[in-house]
Structure 1
Amino acid sequence: MTEEIHATPSTTPNIQTELAAQLAELMPEVIADGKVDVEKLMELLDGDVADTSERFGLFWPGKKRALRAAQEPTTATLRPDFENSKDWDHTKNVFIEGDNLEVLKILQKHYHAKIKMIYIDPPYNTGKDFVYPDNYKEGLDTYLEWTRQVNEEGKRLSTNADTEGRYHSNWLNMMYPRLKLARNLLTEDGVIFVSIDDTEVSLLRRLLDEVFGEGNFLGQFVWVTKNAARGVPPRTMLMSNHEYVIAYARRAGEVKFKGLERDAGDFGNPDSDPRGLWRSESMKATGAQNNYFTIADPKTGRTFHANWAFSEPSVKRMIEDGLVIFPDNDSGTPRQKKFIGSYLNDRKAFVTNLGWYSTENATKALMSLFGGKKVFDFPKPLDLLTFFVEQATIDDLVLDFFAGSGSLAHATMLQNAKDGGSRRYIQVQLPEPTPDGSAARNSGFRTIADLARERIRRAGSALVKEDASLSDATSNTDVGFRAYKLADTSFSKWKQSSDVELNQLEQHLLDLRESSSADDASADGLLSEILLKQGYSLIEQIAPVDVAGLNLRSVGDGVVLAYLNEHVKPTLEQLRAVVDEDPARLIVLEDAFQGDDQLKTNLAQLCKSKGIELWTA
């Protein structure tokens, strides 16, 4: 009956293995004894293979290890944090506390190709704000140790000073696996915006070229952070008062931005044209067109010879339609009428210079939410982020896995309130400790994640207070969020990796004799982990239900039913009653059978007769 029972996968997808499987589908001849025959692959690709002795690319110490960090599956999970959530039952927003590398792996199953826009403001590698493990080991163990969930001593952190021999390499090793995983989450028409300063902008461009492809580069936008100080001579020739936002697409040809509103201030109607407001624009060609011919004013007979932007038949039709304005003298040039309707519909896609966005005003806006206290340094301006949110999304999902103080979540709610959009966000933030003696720590915020959650709560409350319509149930503006925390798996049978030491493996096997799930794991925590590993989202509607005396969890109004009590063995009659509820999928904790294989087999037969998928964990 094993074919009738589906086992919940213990880890996130093994990306390396999946790539090999895709390669086997495309070119089965390169697979030999279950492995990729590299020589055969190179033979088939032939002229498409680069000369390994001379090739262009970005290389640095640790790059291969960084790639493996992205490919290594994780058994980690996300546990519901009801206490720190806001409006859990109704919100579609998510805030995750945890290391973003592990979280990005967890998100791969459900959120693959589902996120329209990613914005990140990663560490700028200034030599003091860049946190990285001193042993450069990525993974859940590092995160748990750093957050003191495992080792009371914690792990030492490096500030990556510029005297460090691998100053830039360390930063690239941190960014590379995260960007690789992030790309997988973007929709085909999705975009990523990355904030950066002069320190790493050149390397970031090359790194993004490698991850997303040069052809998917959309632009490197400059924004002014502050006005230069007057009367103060700079120490160098240039004063840095700008930062960058680099934009790449999953597929550049699929991207469509909303476009910029056009300035209609110079339109008028001096001749009372019934077609409405208009302005005049040059008719001369600006490029290499070869449209030299003469046109004549039908009223005065004056002629004008030039290289025109339109063909001779087109100009003739424009004159007949009254769309050409002729000058009063021979020295002038005919111009075309451009009516405001067609002008406003002709929207530009984007700009290369974003102008000035005040970081000082961003700080003041955040301080206003916290009673005038400066609880966070250098938050991004909300109007800068709402600009990106407005341009790239409307009813879509946005992600920030370097959430900081939660600026993107705030901007998303603001833009939804402004244009009625129904955007949702996922925020990921490491529980980095706030500095001792800081305004944030003195205000009770132990970590940046604590601060970000409170910022989002207060920003949402402020929006509702400003606009009473937002509290109406029909409003699209969602000001709540579900909170989750990164944690180790609740299933002991999934915990060990292939490089576990022998004595640890022996103890692990002994532990399995007793139970496969942790005794302190809640039903909600277990179900959250199981659903994630089966490919469900973080916003599934879950409710407790009672069937024949069994306490179950219902997912999506009964589409999925889950029995997760290992201490109470259900009877066959009780399970029959559960099957009669006719869910599409039934999940039963393996330990709930308490070793009764006959009960498990009978349940499998019942599910098969009803067309129900039976899953165990």
Structure 2
Amino acid sequence: MSTQRITPNYKFNDEQIRQLRLIAPEVFKDNILDIVTLYEALGDFIDDDILQNEHYGISWPGKQNAKKGAATPVHGTLIPVQDKSCLASGTANIFIEGENLTVLKIIKKSYANSIKAIYIDPPYNTGNDLIYEDDFSESAEDFLTRIGSIDATGKRLTTNSKADGRFHSKWLSMMYPRLKLAHQLLKEEGVICISIDDNELNNLRLIMNEIFGEENFVGNFIVQSNPRASQSSGDIGIVHEYVLVYTRNITKNAALAQRLDDRMLTEYKYTAKDGRKYRELGLRLRGGAWRRSQRQNLYFPIYVDPVTGRVSLEQKDGYTEEALPIKPTTGEEGTWRWSKEKIKKDADDLFGKQIKRGENYIWDVYQMDYLTKKDNDEKSTKPKSIWNEPEMNYQNAGEEIKELFGHSDVFDFPKPVYLIKKVLNLIDCDGEIVMDFFAGSGTTGEAIYELNSEGRNIRFILVQLDYKIAETKRAHKLGYNTIADVTSKRLELASEKYQKAEFEGSDNLLGFKYFKLGPSNYKVWKNYSGTDISNLLTLFNEQQSLLIDDWDPQSLLTEIILIEGFPLDSTIVEEESIKVNKVYKISSDSCEHSLFICLDKRVEESAIHLLPLDSSDIFICLDAAVTDQNKIRLEDRGILKTI
């Protein structure tokens, strides 16, 4: 295929541009639509040396391949592992053992636009080899030769390995496709939070701006994770890390809201006639543009009825006492926080009272700031950008590991439960799914268990690579061969811990269904470019069945569910009315139709008559299991798919 410059003869309207921003924010560079990147997003990747458009953004050796990595199809499935599951019959929580890029691609159809919050703690870039080595990664030799770090004989020309491009490029190529898929999984109002340190903070911001759109940046929290300071590198004792926050669509996302702490709650010490608690807030503006000269329209008198305390903008019968926004210490003229229009609208939330200033008494106006709104939603506050609570100390995470396993060194550098709870408490996750595809020690799962024990209703999907643990490590000596073993065991132990608390709804808010990434039950189609007819016939004969010879019924059932876009926590029941065949009905609140799946080698005609199919339901069976006549009958009642 030849590649040439594209000169569009069609002009997008404003609504189309808005929709394109939501679907593919990365195609806008410097707020301008980049046709080349749009062309790439559609699947046709243009050679770097053909089209060179300069824009503000981030580029690195291997970026083009990293982009392809998000779209490259995978051949695999998720296999249910019953003996590693915990409270599997009732739970909606999911744990997946496997390489996360492949897993995200496999579940994308089932969970696209479905995840409310993603928290990840990816491997920090220390310059060592990454655990997540993707197939599209460039070899070290090819990379170093191309950028001039080694000569033709392989002799190294530079010595600062951390400063060279590959230090960042490998990490960025690893992160880019995973973040691209995360964007597709999030709900439009969804939020993603990423723990990171200084090594890649700036680069992470740039690729997040490209994938999510710079306008969807929410904030960057500084977390005091090590008050004693790390002395392991550099000239500065590092006491902090970061949590970077983006949303998929800032116009749809409610502001991050932090619940009031105990100290804040003590301020709400008054009770209104309707029983709601409130605090008194002075209506005079204390900070910002408080001088009359800065906001002339916010300087005006308010009149108070000295008997009732009610206020008015007019001096009329009963409203005899004048209040002005005067700074008491200097007598300077200030401003009110509310405009006249706001006061007219919400005058019932204001009252005036006489207070002593020095030797004199004056009238001032206050707002009744309610703890709960009329819809009973509790008041919240904006989160501060620095998190320095003692519970943020990552040493606490070791103690949490020790409580469950008996040893604090079972996992290196876990995050504390308090941190994940604080993150999730900023987001309205009730009734929603939270995902963590760098699950590590499983802190996110335990944090969600604890939140649910406090009255929340959150489900999780956790993904962890089955990375081998060194034999010298404590975890290996305790019998854990992979990091995924540690993750799942922590989820099991934490589930038992909170199960003993017997909180309401514990049956479906604890535990997890365990799945493992494995090979597909479907054959891989082999392309043939030869001219030998006998070879072609052999190929067709081999592909008569779509399934491999030793396909597994339980694994295939899960694979079909995912292919059809049903979630992993779908309800699976066997149709008891059908005695002659084993037929499973799969349903989910997220899907409008049901699946009926029969994997028997023959589907009896009596079973076909008994199938309770609606016109939108899908019946799936082996192609050889039904006759052509029965295929026609089935298609008249619903949708038939054969494999």
**Matched residue of 2:469: which SS?**
coil
- Equivalents in 2 of 1:267, 1:325: separation in Å? 21
Selected match of 1:360 from 387, 391, 395: 395
Selected match of 1:522 from 527, 539, 552: 552
**How far did residue 228 of structure 1 move?**
2.5
1:589 aligns with 2:616: no
1:65 aligns with 2:92: no
The corresponding residue for 1:577 is: 607
The corresponding residue for 1:170 is: 170
Deviations 1:570-612 (A, max 9, x none): 4xxx13423422233211123545xxxxx1x212211133x22
- The 1:41–1:519 alpha-carbon spacing in structure 2 relative to 1, beyond 3 Å, is same
- Equivalents in 1 of 2:88, 2:436: separation in Å? 20
Name the one with the larger helix percent: 1
Unpaired runs of 5+ residues, structure 1, are 1-32, 139-159, 594-598
Deviations 1:470-528 (A, max 9, x none): 5xxx4475211111111221111x3557999x9xx989927726743233322111111
- Equivalents in 2 of 1:236, 1:332: separation in Å? 60
- Equivalents in 1 of 2:208, 2:71: separation in Å? 18
Deviations 1:420-465 (A, max 9, x none): x221111111101112221110111110011100100000001112
Assess if the C-alpha contact under 8 Å between 2:188 and 2:249 holds in 1.
Answer: yes
**Matched residue of 2:381: which SS?**
coil
Assess if the C-alpha contact under 8 Å between 2:86 and 2:513 holds in 1.
Answer: yes
**How far did residue 252 of structure 1 move?**
1.1
Q: What amino acid sits opposite 2:388 in the alignment?
A: G
1:208 aligns with 2:208: yes
The within-5 A match list for 1:346-357 is 346-356=379-389, 357=392
Assess if the C-alpha contact under 8 Å between 1:78 and 1:484 holds in 2.
Answer: yes
- Equivalents in 1 of 2:430, 2:571: separation in Å? 23
- The 1:602–1:445 alpha-carbon spacing in structure 2 relative to 1, beyond 3 Å, is same
- Equivalents in 1 of 2:494, 2:536: separation in Å? 51
Selected match of 1:253 from 251, 258, 261: 251
The corresponding residue for 1:25 is: none
The within-5 A match list for 1:44-443 is 44=11, 48-49=32-33, 53-128=53-128, 130-133=130-133, 136-137=136-137, 162=162, 165-228=165-228, 238-256=236-254, 257-261=256-260, 263-266=264-267, 278-281=279-282, 283-284=284-285, 286-287=288-289, 288-290=294-296, 291-293=298-300, 304=326, 306-309=333-336, 310-311=338-339, 322-329=351-358, 335-339=364-368, 341=370, 346-356=379-389, 357-392=392-427, 393-419=429-455, 421-443=456-478
**How far did residue 244 of structure 1 move?**
0.2
Selected match of 2:629 from 586, 596, 602: 602
Selected match of 1:480 from 511, 515, 530: 511
- Equivalents in 2 of 1:250, 1:281: separation in Å? 37
Q: Give the alignment's TM-score, normalised by structure 1.
A: 0.77
The corresponding residue for 2:502 is: 468
- Equivalents in 1 of 2:76, 2:497: separation in Å? 35
**Equivalent residue pairs, number:** 538
**How far did residue 348 of structure 1 move?**
1.9
- Equivalents in 1 of 2:537, 2:439: separation in Å? 39
Q: Give the alignment's TM-score, normalised by structure 2.
A: 0.74
Q: What amino acid sits opposite 2:386 in the alignment?
A: N
RMSD: 3.9
The corresponding residue for 2:641 is: 615
- The 1:430–1:497 alpha-carbon spacing in structure 2 relative to 1, beyond 3 Å, is farther
- Equivalents in 2 of 1:511, 1:164: separation in Å? 52
Q: What amino acid sits opposite 2:554 in the alignment?
A: D
Assess if the C-alpha contact under 8 Å between 1:280 and 1:335 holds in 2.
Answer: no
Assess if the C-alpha contact under 8 Å between 2:439 and 2:462 holds in 1.
Answer: yes
- Equivalents in 1 of 2:598, 2:342: separation in Å? 73
Assess if the C-alpha contact under 8 Å between 1:124 and 1:130 holds in 2.
Answer: no
- The 1:130–1:293 alpha-carbon spacing in structure 2 relative to 1, beyond 3 Å, is same
